[in-house]
Amino acid sequence: MALWAISALMAASVLMSQAIAAQTASRAGAGGGGQLKITSDIQEADTKSGVVIARGNVRIEYPARKVVATAEKATYLRDEKKIILSGNVRVVQDENRMNAEVMTYFIDKGLFDAQPPSGKQVEAIYTVPPSEDPQEPPQKTSESKPQQ
């Protein structure tokens, strides 16, 4: 009977923390809004402060900004509108990727602040869009013949 009660409490905690995260993310307004989905092995949610702490196999999905992140731990701070990820952090946004030990995502600004593991560097891969520089000559797509 005690095992059932513990399982029910854990399930309720996960559901509540996901509801808080989704509700507060939907109020983000100019910061993109929408739902913020957090999945993990364990989650703790403080309904008064709006702080959600997720531990173990953390995965965050924020479709409004096309962000998917994984880490060992994540702390979502509703009032500050930021997420602090730590432990083997990997973030993908569109075709861009970044790996770090600690990363803070400022939701309103769409800004990432990454810190490397001790003695190492942050690794990032960015996709650079094609140039639209008016100084470059346009690409010729077909041959044209003068009319006679």
Give dist(CA 135, CA 37) in Å, integer: 44
Q: What is the pLDDT of residue 26?
A: 43
DSSP symbol at 119: T
Q: What is the pLDDT of residue 131?
A: 83
Instruction: For the chain, give the number of residues.
Output: 148
Q: What is the pLDDT of residue 140?
A: 56
H or E element in which residue 93 lies: strand 82-93
Q: Where are the domains of the chain?
A: 37-119
Strand partners, 82: 77, 106
Confidence tier at 32 by pLDDT (50, 70, 90): low
Fold of 37-119: lipopolysaccharide transport protein A fold (2.60.450)
